[in-house]
A = this chain, B = another copy of it.
Amino acid sequence: MKLLRINTKTRKFSFEEPGPYAGLGGRALTSRMVLKEVPAKCDALGPENKLVIAAGTLTGTACANSGRISVGAKSPLTGGIKESNSGGQFAQKLAKLGIVGIVLEDKPADNAPLMTIVITKDGVTIKDAGDIAGKYTYAAAESLLSAYGDKAALMLIGPAGETTRQAASIQFTDPEGRPARAAGRGGMGAVMGSKRVKAIVLDDAGCGMVKAADPEAFKAASRKWVDILKGHPVTAEGLPAFGTAILVNVINEAGAFPTKNFRGGRFEFVNNISGETIAETIEKRGGKTRHGCHTGCVIQCSQEYRDAAGKYLTSGFEYETIWAMGANSLISDLDHVATLDRTCDELGVDTIEMGCTIAVAMDGGLIPWGDGEAAIALLKKIGTGDAVGDYIGNGAGATGKALGVTRVPVVKNQSLPAYDPRAVKGVGVTYCTTPQGADHTAGYAVCQNILKVGGDVDPKGKDGQIEISKALQIATAAVDAAGLCLFVAFAVLDNADGVPTIADMVAALIGAPFTPDDVVNLGIGVLKDELEFNKAAGFTAADDQLPQFFTDEELPPHNVKWDFTAEEMQAAKVE
């Protein structure tokens, strides 16, 4: 496995041995490189920042659900370290090309032409992006796939990234070549845009799977791994049937479904946007209720959502997006919600950040509550040079400042996801303490708090929340380093063979001992790297807290408040 460094200013590149980074993959690689090579106080959009794109340790092998791609850099949104990961076809092809990570370094002039980077087994070609510059991601992807072949995997930005908006995502193509998968959070698309890279194209023709050092042991462990995933009701039944949208009714029922910019925990029109309604709508319109975002996925939580005319509208239509574009903005028309999802993918912008931003804009009177068409029009201003689009594209914090709205649900300037921390306190601890800014995926305590997977902790109490958040943050960091989809956690948390089987796969892959303790230590190491970076960037305990209104206001229907202090939060961080 090699590292590919590309200087975006000189357009020179080199392949090198991983050296000090040997053995690291995914988030472990991106966070270590960012810590070691990016000055913590640099301008996130300046030449000193680096965009690190890494395949997981298990990626490219036959291991099920190991196709996540990690993207890391200093975040222009939070000012801290960032790892954002995505599904899609990119990671597996990258690993098959023998590349563990691509590092985009330096930057051209701000108005330099955008470029396309094409990587095949024969080498690297860097060329001007030409007429895909400025294009929405679906059209750009279509153009690239027609030039480089349907089997290429793409990583690309839209107008939001090109104009370095702080909420810009990086989009990745799925097996059908649709750029519907996103490394959404923290503005990684802005970093890519600052380096004037519109797209990276991977063609792995002629490359085989990544080979294990001990093929027989690997085969045995990876078979057991599939059995574990297929043996748990969430990964075997719930997610395949309804995707993550199954959570709409579950979280609403729990009174933790943030409504009208986090004013309530239940949404009046929840039935319009529930997973059950979505599945029914998809079936009626001839879409797909099951779909894998990458080859080798046995969970298949994605889907193909069609419009009323039966035409493809969007995919990867996640619970968090449905919440963000629906309940949080009081938008109750499912097609509007789906169109907002598609619009975010087209622009290359984070759906969670945009959902909170739209609600803040509604709070500021910029557009009416619940007006889906106005919300779509608002998002389309991003990247056009329009000043409203400029601040909307910088997220909820910027929009609050521009409009004078102080009710802005962010931690470290990143918008809160779809679980009200007052009614799911474990995930609130994660929002506060993960180095990533408010992020549910960094320590998904919804498991123990609501789903009762891996334990049972009262979601509204304080007891046990810090402990589960901390343990989950460690486990998640390891999962992200391995390149595994986070949803494997549902099965792993409830099956004592889960972590040992992951360790067995890694051991067989690298041909050296790797124990369950090593998995835990891997996660701890990642978090330590990230916390060290953030400390150097100037973060303190004061940054580890929710906005004041969560402490001041009761959340209906359970009338619960946030009741942790920033000091208490410190115990959730590894030392």
Contact = CB atoms under 8 A, between A and B. Distances in A.
A569 to B, nearest CB: 13
A218 interface: no
Contact of A404 (B41, B164, B365, B552): B164
A411 interface: no
A169 B552 CA distance: 30
A387 interface: yes
Secondary structure call for the A interface = loop
A404 B45 contact: yes
Interface string A340-375: 000000000000000000000000010000000000
Interface in A444-497: none
Interface string A388-431: 10110010011001111010000000000000000000000000
- Interface bracket on A: 20 to 34
Nearest to A406: B79
A41 B548 contact: yes
A50 B409 CA distance: 26
A165 B401 CA distance: 10
A394 B387 contact: no
A280 interface: no
B401 A387 contact: no
A401 B552 CA distance: 26
Contacts of A391: 387, 391, 401-402
A401 B397 contact: yes
Contact of A394 (B386, B394, B401): B401
Contacts of A365: 110
Given A41-B552, A538-B548, A540-B542, A394 B390 contact: no
B402 A398 contact: yes
Contacts of A388: 387
Interface string A57-88: 00000000000000000001001000000000
Contacts of A398: 398, 401-402, 404
Nearest to A388: B387
Nearest to A397: B401
A214 interface: no
Nearest to A398: B401
A273 to B, nearest CB: 30
A404 B166 contact: yes
Contacts of A390: 387, 402-403
A136 to B, nearest CB: 22
Contacts of A253: none
A401 B404 contact: no
A166 B403 CA distance: 9
A150 interface: no
A227 interface: no
A401 B110 CA distance: 19
Interface in A518-544: 538, 540, 542
Contacts of A542: 540, 542
Nearest to A542: B542
A563 interface: no
B401 A402 contact: yes
A43 interface: yes
28 contacts: A41-B548, A41-B552, A44-B406, A45-B404, A76-B404, A164-B404, A166-B404, A387-B387, A387-B390, A387-B391, A387-B402, A390-B402, A390-B403, A391-B391, A391-B401, A394-B401, A394-B404, A397-B401, A398-B398, A398-B401, A398-B402, A398-B404, A401-B401, A401-B402, A402-B402, A538-B548, A540-B542, A542-B542
